[in-house]
């Protein structure tokens, strides 16, 4: 028998300061394009960048992090942050501010969005300390977290899962695919994201969004007040 608990205690802590601070270690996020010259829009394969006058505006839901607008002659300005989720849906009632149960549903992701979610319990992020739990049953779930563009075969399981959840409930679409179809949809095989099927309360763009971007969105759904990029030093 190994004394794994002891081994765990001896391990050096490596936990992020989030949500106390928005400071990030290098490599925690790919960052995102925020603004740039009008010519930068030409390189974007998905229409996430649109020239408006002399500048380029970003529709982040469509960005697939191909990095084309990061390199090359007319690059965009990129910001290395994570607080970029958005949504019109109201947060859950106050009773949920300290703990939620999340049901994760794969609606055809490429594996990278799920891999980032798999990092959330890792010691660097430790999602449980924030009162967030991945639940094994839709009957206990407060939040439905969906990745992938919604393939034909996953439409019905998605609707069934949502229907099986008690209210109040919220839907979070994670990743470019879930937000807009990403590189895959809409097509004959995929929808153009979760909003084609269900009311979406919060969207976390990115391909894939880094673990902290997802964490930030979940805290927003819990109604916890958070530092936003605009407040960062």
Partner 1 sequence: MNTLAELLHALECDAAVPAAIESGAVLALPLPAARLPHAAHVLARSQAHLAGIVCEQRNGSFALRYPFWLPRGLPWLELVIDVAPGGTVPSISPRLFAADWHEREIEDLFGLIFSNHPFLGNFVLHDEVWPEQAFPMRHDFAFTDADGAPSPYQPQQMLQAEGAFLMPVGPVYGGVSEAGQFLLDTLGEEITHCQTRLFYKYRGIEKRAEGMVAADALLLVERMNGTNAFAHALAAAQAIERACDCSVPARAQTLRSFWAELERLRSHAATIAGLCKSTALAVPTSLAYQRVEELLRLSGRHAGHRYLFGLIAAGGLAFDLDDAAARELAAQAQAVARRLADLAEELLFDNSFIDRLEEVGVIDAKVARRYGLVGPVGRAAGHVSDLRREQPYAAYAECTPRVAQAAEGDNLARLRVFLDEAAESARLLPLLATQLPAGTVRGTCATRAGAGLGWTEAPAGASTCFARLDADGRIARLRLMPPAFANWHAYHLAAERFAFQDFPITLASFGLSMAEQDR
3-state secondary structure of 101: strand
Q: Alpha carbon 226 to chain centroid distance? A: 16
Is 161 a binder of ligand SF4 (CB under 6 A)?
A: no
Residue 61 binds to ligand SF4 (criterion: CB under 6 A): no
Look at phi and psi of residue 147 and say left if phi exceeds 0, alpha if psi is from -120 to 50, else beta.
Answer: beta
Tokens of 64: 């697939």
Between 54 and 188, name the residue whose CB sits nearer to partner 1: 188
Cβ distance 137 to 102 under 8 Å? no
Interaction between residue 109 and ligand SF4 (CB under 6 A): yes
Q: Are 171 and 200 in contact, with CB atoms under 8 Å apart? A: yes
Rounded to 5°, the CA angle 122-119-147 comes to 150
Q: State yes or no: residue 113 binds ligand SF4 (CB under 6 A).
A: yes
CA distances 118 to 111, 123, 199, 200, Å, are 10, 11, 25, 22
Question: Which stretch in 21-29, 63-71, 82-90, 134-142 sits in contact with ligand SF4 by CB under 6 A?
Answer: 63-71
User: What does DSSP assign to residue 131?
Assistant: T
Which partner in partner 1, ligand SF4, none is near 170 (CB below 5 to 8 A by kind)? none
Which of ligand SF4, partner 1, none does 28 bind, CB closer than 5 to 8 A by kind? partner 1
Structure tokens at 2: 């190994």
Residue selected from 31, 87, 182, 193 as contacting ligand SF4 according to rule CB under 6 A: 182
CB-nearer residue toward ligand SF4: 111 or 123: 111
User: Which does residue 144 bind out of partner 1, ligand SF4, none, counting CB within 5 to 8 angstroms by kind?
Assistant: none
Minimum Å gap between C-beta 152 and ligand SF4 is 16
Q: Which does 63 bind (CB under 5 to 8 A by kind): ligand SF4, partner 1, none?
A: ligand SF4
Q: Give me the half-sphere count of Cα atoms (radius 13 Å) on the Cβ side of residue 51.
A: 11
Only segment of 5-13, 109-117, 122-130, 135-143 that touches ligand SF4 (CB under 6 A): 109-117
The site for ligand SF4 (CB under 6 A) is made up of 33, 43-46, 48-49, 63-69, 109-110, 112-113, 147-148, 175-177, 182-183, 207-208
């Amino acid at each position: 028998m190994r004394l794994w608990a002891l081994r765990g205690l001896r391990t050096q802590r490596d936990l992020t300061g989030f949500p106390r601070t928005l400071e990030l270690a290098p490599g925690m996020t790919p960052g995102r394009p925020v603004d740039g010259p009008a010519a930068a829009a030409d390189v974007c394969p998905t229409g996430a960048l649109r020239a408006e006058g002399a500048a380029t505006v970003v529709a982040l839901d469509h960005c697939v992090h191909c990095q084309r607008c990061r390199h090359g002659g007319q690059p965009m300005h990129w910001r290395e942050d994570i607080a970029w989720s958005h949504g019109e849906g109201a947060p859950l009632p106050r009773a949920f501010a300290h703990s939620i149960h999340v049901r994760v549903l794969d609606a055809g992701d490429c594996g990278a969005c799920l891999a980032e979610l798999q990092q959330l319990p890792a010691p660097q992020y430790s999602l449980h300390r924030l009162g967030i739990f991945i639940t094994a049953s839709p009957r206990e779930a407060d939040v439905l977290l969906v990745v992938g563009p919604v393939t034909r075969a996953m439409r019905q399981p998605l609707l069934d899962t949502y229907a099986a959840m008690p209210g109040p409930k919220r839907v979070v679409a994670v990743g470019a695919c879930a937000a807009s179809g990403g590189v895959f949809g809409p097509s004959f095989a995929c929808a153009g994201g979760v909003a084609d099927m269900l009311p979406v309360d919060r969207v976390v763009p990115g391909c894939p969004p880094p673990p902290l971007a997802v964490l930030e969105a979940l805290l927003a759904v819990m109604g916890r007040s958070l530092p936003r990029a605009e407040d960062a030093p």
